[in-house]
Structure 1
Amino acid sequence: MVSTLADNIPSAADCTIVITGGNSGIGRAAAGVLAGMDARVVLAVRNLDKGRAAAESMRGTVDVRRLDLTDLSSVRAFAEEFTDPIDILINNAGIMVPPLGRTADGFESQLGTNHLGHVALTNLLLPQIRERVVTVSSLGHRSGTIDFDDLNWERKPYKPMAAYGQSKLANLLFTSELQRRLTECSSPVIATAAHPGLAATNLFGRSGRRVRDAISAAAIGLISQSEQHGALPTLCAATANVPGNSYVGPGSFRETRGEPKLVGRSAEAKDPEVARRLWTVSEELTGVGFPQL
């Protein structure tokens, strides 16, 4: 293991970096490192008080802006109000295996938060982005499948982990199709993805079942790596010299922990037709399409 996060990434000095959900977990860890490298970091968060508390703990220039990915009107408001150039957008915010819930726009909460909110945000901000879009996925994508007949779990019985896997698979499909479109229009921007391995973050223990959550948290604590080391793949995907559509994760113990490296993904995550179809459906659901660049 490495001594500091900064040992693994190039400098981010003078970059403007927007990171969703940067008030906790690996997002907060990554934001703190980037701010310490003299980047201007913007924490795009739902809870401004928590965002400000996180910002106060960081060294450097850290702004806090309100963004609720579960409400597309909030996503649009953020994009309208934030008009500065952006070097790097990090789509980090996410939820994991909550009870069945719906966003303000009627989407299943994990698909809406982890995927659709970020799709809308990215496409709205893309004309301002100069270097890179990073989207945080998960090992859980390997158990996911895209159910185009019932994306939002309106007919079949709800299974929280299956819904999570679908949303994290969607993150990788989004990244690959975004890169294809960026390449097609000769944009200098690249799209990359990362996953933290098994990191002890606040994503765990949110199922709403107290005993199950306690057991899960205890088990994860025994085998996981810290939030700081879980943030390393995100930092590398955001700043290292990697190709478009690359996927960065921990390099040891079946990608659960260790120093970051380029990693593989499931067969469905590499399917260009599924990626294109999901992009089209996502545009229809959010009402936000790929901009003219």
Structure 2
Amino acid sequence: MSTPLHIDLSRLAGRTVVVTGANSGLGLVTARALADAGAHVVLAVRTPATGEQAAASMPGTVEVRRLDLADLTSVRAFAEELEGPVDVLVNNAGLMVPPLGRTADGFELQMGTNHLGHFALTGLLLPRLRDRVVTLSSIGHRMGRIDLEDLNWRRRPYRAMPAYAQSKLANLLFTAELQRRLGAAGSPVRALAAHPGVSSTALFHRGQRPTLSARFAPLIAQPAEVGAQPTLAAAAADLPGDSYVGPGGLLEMRGAPALVSRSRRARDVETARRLWDVSEELTGVRFPLP
């Protein structure tokens, strides 16, 4: 059992936090907790109408802005229209095991949304970021393998779960490489990652195929209010860059937030660097970092 992390959201009072996918599930819980702590929260959502409904349930100062991570034109528009500095960016939105689909830019839907969309968003906002980037991964990253020659599943027969695991492994490799570059540049901004364990919301995204894990998830899943705690800890706790926060209980499936481990592939420095180069090429977003 890992040592639980203390969460003090009061340090974010008066600060601006952008949360992607903040209209439902973990994103909604995260955004509401941050707003309740006094942060100014930007709900970055694909459908503004549902974002406005979510915002109406939150205290404090919140605003809703459209962001479709599956469309780089939308990502660029969001970054251009967002005003002022950003203290914390929470890359929360994601898809899990939908049927094969493509983003507006031709990327496999999970890689395009979970990794490439957030990669582009982070790069575009980086000049205005003042504190940290928190990117959500998954215990599913342990099954992931990065195929740099076919990230977008054009040559291989599509398999939804391996595609999901690849995208979640990409989230951790992105975090590690981003932190390495931030450190080399002497930037005070930190990159961290989190995962919710088994959450009752994480397995039921629209378009998901019924799976054995989905059927049994309610028996072991944490409620979203608990599943969001690692994200909140990563956003607020005094942790070094490249920290990874998840539930500290059995197999990281549930429990209080703690520092957790990652797979050997998630620690592969060379793959992280190569994935970064491929991601810049695919998105056309170049980070202002060495």
Q: TM-score range by the shorter chain?
A: over 0.9
CA distance in 2, matches of 1:88, 1:220: 31
Aligned to 2:87: 87
Contact 1:124–1:291 (8 Å) recurs in 2: no
8 Å Cα contact 2:115-2:171 kept in structure 1: yes
- Structure 1 stretches of 4+ with a deviation exceeding 6 A read none
Could you tell me which residue of structure 2 aligns to residue 116 of structure 1? 116
Question: Is the contact made by 2:18 and 2:44 (CA closer than 8 Å) also made in structure 1?
Answer: yes
Equivalent position SS for 1:219:
helix
Gaps of 5+ in 1: 1-6
Answer yes or no: is the 8 Å Cα contact 1:87–1:131 preserved in 2.
Answer: yes
Q: Which residue of 2 aligns with 1:238?
A: 235
**One-letter code of the match for 2:287?**
F
| Aligned twin of 1:254 | 251
Structure 2 match to 1:290: 287
Partner deviation per Cα, 1:137-194 (whole Å, 9 max, x = no partner): 0001000000012110001110000000000000000000000010011000000000
Letter in 2 for 1:222: L
Q: 2: CA distance between counterparts of 1:246 and 1:62?
A: 28
The residue that corresponds to 1:55 in the other structure is 55
Match of 1:44 in 2: 44
TM-score scaled to structure 2, two decimals?
0.95
What is the letter of the counterpart of residue 8 of structure 2? I
2:220 corresponds in structure 1 to: 223
Structure 2 residue matching 1:114: 3-state secondary structure? helix
Distance in 1 between residues matched to 2:271 and 2:248, nearest whole Å = 27
1:98 and 2:98 matched: yes
**TM-score (normalised: structure 1):** 0.94
Shift of 1:203: 3.9
Aligned residue-pair number: 285
Contact persistence 1:38–1:60 (CA under 8 A): yes
Deviation at 1:236, TM superposition (A): 0.3
Instruction: For 1:116, give the aligned amino acid.
Output: L
Aligned AA for 1:169? L
- Deviation for aligned residue 1:60: 1.1
AA partner of residue 101 (structure 1):
G
Shift of 1:9: 2.9
Pairwise CA distance, 1:59: 1.1
Match of 1:4 in 2: none
Pairwise CA distance, 1:95: 0.3
CA-based RMSD of the aligned residues comes to: 1.6
Indicate if the aligned counterparts of 1:83 and 1:128 stay in contact, CA closer than 8 A: no
**Structure 1 residues 59 and 102 mapped into 2: Cα distance closer, same or farther (>3 Å)?**
same
